[in-house]
Amino acid sequence: MIPKVRATFNRDLLLRQRQPGSYVDHEYIEGGFIDVPFKGDLQPMTPKELEQNPYGETINEGIKIYTSAPIDFKDTDIIPWNGRDYRIFAVTPRGGHKKIQAGILDA
């Protein structure tokens, strides 16, 4: 598959972080999302990276972001980009910054 994402550097990005849910009257209510701005270098994932996701899910489009933002990125977080929502599936520390991999899952 040919990546549809173009590399962009020192870009203003947005992280949509899921907040914890809670019980109200014995019923679990999902937490909402908050938006956290950050800067990072965004690149398309290679076909090999698309195949090597830790959950074994089929990813039809992926991005990787390198950032030094002091944010605790989680695999429930979403990165909106170009009108699509990419779910984080891997965060790897890399010498003072983080490599974040996110993808659009096959429905």
pLDDT value, residue 54: 67
C-alpha distance from residue 23 to each of 18, 31, 32, 76 (Å): 16, 10, 14, 19
Average pLDDT of span 94-100: 91
Residue 5 · residue 43 · CB < 8 Å: yes
The CATH class, in words, for 8-105 is mainly beta
Distance, C-alpha 2 to centroid of its chain: 20
Q: Residue 4: pLDDT band by 50, 70, 90 thresholds?
A: low
C-alpha distance from residue 20 to each of 2, 24, 86 (Å): 36, 13, 20
In the chain, domain spans: 8-105
pTM: 0.80
Q: What is the pLDDT of residues 40-94, one digit of tens each?
A: 999 998 888 877 766 667 777 899 999 999 999 998 899 999 888 999 988 999 8
Helices within the chain (DSSP H only): 47-51
